[in-house]
Structure 1
Amino acid sequence: MRLSAEKLRLLGLFTVWTATTALDAGVGRLPVLGYNTWNAFQCNIDEDLMLNTARLMKSLGLQKAGYEYVNIDDCYSEKNRTSDGYIIEDQVRFKGGMKKLTTAIHKLGFKTGIYSDAGWFTCAGYPGSYGNEDRDIKTFQDWGFTYLKYDNCAIPYDIITQEGIVGRYQRMADAIAKLAKKSKKTPFLYSLCNWGWSQVWIWGKTQGQSWRTTGDISPAWASLANIINFNSFLTQATDFYGRNDLDMLQLGNGNLTFDEAKSHFTAWALMKSPLLIGTDLTKITDETLEILTNREILAINQDPVIGTSISPFRWGFNPDWTYDPLRPAEYWSGPSGKGTVIMMLNVADEPAFMTFNLTESPWLRAGRRYSVRDLWAHTDNGTVIRNITVEAVPAHGVVALLLNDAGSEPKGLEPLCSVLYQCTDKNGTRVGL
């Protein structure tokens, strides 16, 4: 059957208008801060590792900085369900039981999260939750978890599901909502790990509080640049209660330079992604810890006033709107409860001279001066008028600033407009011609 373009347009609008939220309970207003086991340990996890990780998060000051979740990823269970259909924890690696483990972690002041999959099996071959959504989410609640990362492997045949990825993820969203109503407990935080398929940034918010937009991250600049580039076109999807998930923080893993690690953390935090540490905390360096606990950057991520992401106002290295996985947008800004946030990202392989006119950002006004706070140096750097210039931003490095209105710019500045295009006197005389 063929439909006209107009008919398709109306059907698309109808779909958007009638979409309902399964988790309309106020959970997940701000991005999650915490830890996830996968990137550092994959399947090499046990109860001692989890408890020691929680203790390290406390002793290293990560808990104090706001990281509150300790999350178990794949491989925690037996390979087969019980005879009556339940997932059980690995009887050797988690011999004390999940409930005992989460209770111990909770006593340290943390919350706990767990992992499952919308298919027959998880990505590592353990039992998935397809067809067992109600049973599994109740098990996870009984174990003491309040956060669920939900993956997208081992999909059943179409003739079995008779639904796409939206429907398969909706099954668990409905199970979470049903359990919350029955148990009278707060619904699980639901993190959709579906690698950006089916325009998840459009439908994800009808189901959960975060949604992965790309494939898995790698501890290399090319991977970071690709993720930043892809998400630069999706920033409008992020706000309170729902946000693009750029995947876990790779600080301390791989071959990232210190400047690349700062850029990684800054972009993730200011784009309001969940911040889940994926580093072996027994090997964490003072430099990495300094990045992870930057309170001024974290405060923007956890802003209680403005929930939106920063967005590009100029691509810089490329013409605006260029899709380039290795050279993402360089000039970003956005509002916050503390002022206008600026991120300048040098995507070149060598130090770069970077400059922009203040009015290029939609959040800054012409004819005003602005105070400047450096969010990495933690210094107040006086005021700026009309433009900001940084002479040598390190290769793959970042500048993060917070600007606040400091009054009118001085009278008598020439030229009369910082941007001469259509700058006109009230008598009609064009300036700059």
Structure 2
Amino acid sequence: MVGKYTRMANAIADLAKSSGKPPILFSLCQWGREQPWLWARRLGQSWRTTEDIGKFQYFAQSSLISNRNCVSSGPDWGALRSIINQNSFISWASDFYGHNDMDILEVGNGDLTFDEAKSHFTAWALMKSPLLISTDLSVATEQTLEILKNKEIIAINQDPVVGTGITPFRWGINPDWSNNFTHPAQYWSGESQNGTLFMLLNVLDEPADMFFNLTESPWIRAGRQYSVRDLWAHTDNGTAVRNFTAHQVPRHGVVALLMKDAGDEPAGLDPPCARLEWCMDQNGTRIDNINF
């Protein structure tokens, strides 16, 4: 596969050189079967990571379940959660120099509910997958257009300062770093030019409260409070101190947040930080090791 796509990449480079024009975008597709996230960035700009989006009928072979044992007939929630699960382990590979391609967007197609389509668009955008619309826009519903035209979500995907996407910091239903195509990672975070991103994905078949400590994200500083922007409601929702709860997230639904540093935590909180081992005095000493 590397040899095959090297020939294509060389042909593109030769054409650009002979014509004096910029090279075309090269999007590789061999469905992730040879781990292109490890080598494809030297040849092109994006690479498919999984099988095509489809309505998946799964067949278990002992404990091994793979998209290669499936029949595809149109997008549904099962397809989305499987692709999110598989990409959760390689989300680090997307940056300015190349992108995990999670396949074309199916917003407005198939059997997806409004909340499932929002989850689909949010995960693809915040994981920095290319956003390729497959919907017939001439008959698209207002709900479909509302999703596809979310400028705040698109701005994260197109961030000119931070190229990397979000990654999981907690799986939720399953032990961290465990493979489960029905219940992918639920708690995600990442950087942006304007603050720290959080994606909360409810993989359950019923509404659920979703709680996390801010410092579970590596991009959050202990001892600080953060303003909260809801990227779907397009509202500023006050300030979060130490933790956050999203109440009654719809089944298969999503919450997308942008949090910005809003200064020191309010005075008088005890203990002085949510996690003492991460709480440092100005001189670099851990707070819990100081003899007051």
Structure 2 counterpart of 1:32 = none
Question: Displacement, 1:390?
Answer: 1.1
Does structure 1 residue 426 correspond to structure 2 residue 289? yes
Deviates more, 1:277-286 or 1:249-258: 277-286
Q: 5 Å matches for 1:125-136?
A: none
Give the residue type in structure 2 aligned to 1:198.
E
For residue 401 of structure 1, give the secondary structure of its aligned residue in structure 2. Answer: strand
Note if contact 2:277-2:288 (Cα within 8 Å) is conserved in structure 1.
no
1:5-24 paired onto structure 2 within 5 Å: none
Partner of 1:84: none
| Runs of 4+ residues deviating >6 angstroms | none
Show the counterpart of 1:275.
Answer: 131
User: 1:123 aligns to what?
Assistant: none
Deviations 1:399-422 (A, max 9, x none): 000000000001211233313568
Between the aligned partners of 1:186 and 1:273, the Cα distance in structure 2 is: 23
- Structure 1 unaligned runs (5+)? 1-164
- Partner residue of 1:195 out of 28, 31, 52: 31
**Which SS does the other structure have where 1:395 is aligned?**
coil
The one-letter code sitting in structure 2 at the alignment partner of 1:270 is L
Question: Is it true that 1:305 corresponds to 2:141 in the alignment?
Answer: no
What's the secondary structure of 1:324's corresponding residue?
coil
2:7 to 168, 171, 176: 171
Structure 2: which amino acid aligns with 1:426? N
Per the normalisation by structure 1, the TM-score is: 0.60
CA distance in 1 between counterparts of 2:122 and 2:275 reads 29
Within a 5 Å distance, the mapping from 1:304-323 to structure 2 comes to 304-323=160-179
Residue equivalent to 1:341: 197
- 2:188 matches 1:350: no
Are positions 1:185 and 2:185 aligned together?
no
Selected match of 2:53 from 211, 217, 240: 217
- Aligned residue in 1 for 2:254: 398
Contact 2:222 2:278 in 1 (8 A): no
Partner of 1:204: 40
1:263 to 112, 119, 123: 119
**Structure 2 match to 1:99:** none
Query: Percent of counterpart pairs with the same letter?
Result: 66
Residues 172 and 185 in structure 2, CA contact (< 8 A), matched pair in contact too: yes
What amino acid does structure 2 have at the position aligned with 1:183? S
Give the letter for the 1:388 counterpart. Answer: F
Which residue identity lines up with residue 201 of structure 2 in the other structure?
A: L
In 1, the alpha carbon distance for the partners of 2:170 and 2:182 equals 16
Alpha-carbon distance between aligned partners in 2 of 1:351 and 1:428, rounded to the nearest angstrom: 46
The match for 1:57 is none
Counterpart-to-counterpart distance in 1, 2:168 and 2:229? 20
Once residues 289 and 232 of structure 1 are traced to their aligned partners in structure 2, the CA distance between those partners, rounded to angstroms, is 27
The letter for the 1-side match of 2:228 is V
Q: Which has the higher helix share?
A: 1
Whichever residue aligns with residue 241 of structure 2, its letter is I
Contact 2:223–2:272 (Cα < 8 Å) also in 1: no
Larger radius of gyration: 1
Letter of the structure 2 residue corresponding to residue 296 of structure 1: E
Output the CA distance in 1 between the equivalents of 2:213 and 2:85: 22
Q: 1:360-375, aligned counterparts within 5 Å?
A: 360-375=216-231
Kept in 1: contact 2:40–2:47 (CA 8 A)? yes
Once the two structures are superposed, what CA deviation does each residue of 1:98-127 show, in whole Å capped at 9, x if it has no partner? xxxxxxxxxxxxxxxxxxxxxxxxxxxxxx
Match of 1:131 in 2: none
Name the residue aligned to 2:95: 239
Q: Which runs of 5+ in 2 are unaligned?
A: 55-74, 280-286
SS of the counterpart of 2:262? strand
Please tell me the root mean square deviation across aligned C-alpha atoms, in Å.
1.3
Aligned residue number for residue 4 of structure 1: none
CA distance in 2, matches of 1:281, 1:421: 52
> How far apart are residue 391 of structure 1 and its match?
1.7
In 1, the alpha carbon distance for the partners of 2:210 and 2:134 equals: 31
> What is the CA distance between 1:168 and its match in structure 2?
0.7
Structure 2 CA distance for aligned equivalents of residues 204 and 187 of structure 1: 16
Q: Deviations over 1:303-361 (max 9, x none)?
A: 00000010001111111111111111000010011111110000111101100000000
- AA aligned opposite 2:210: M
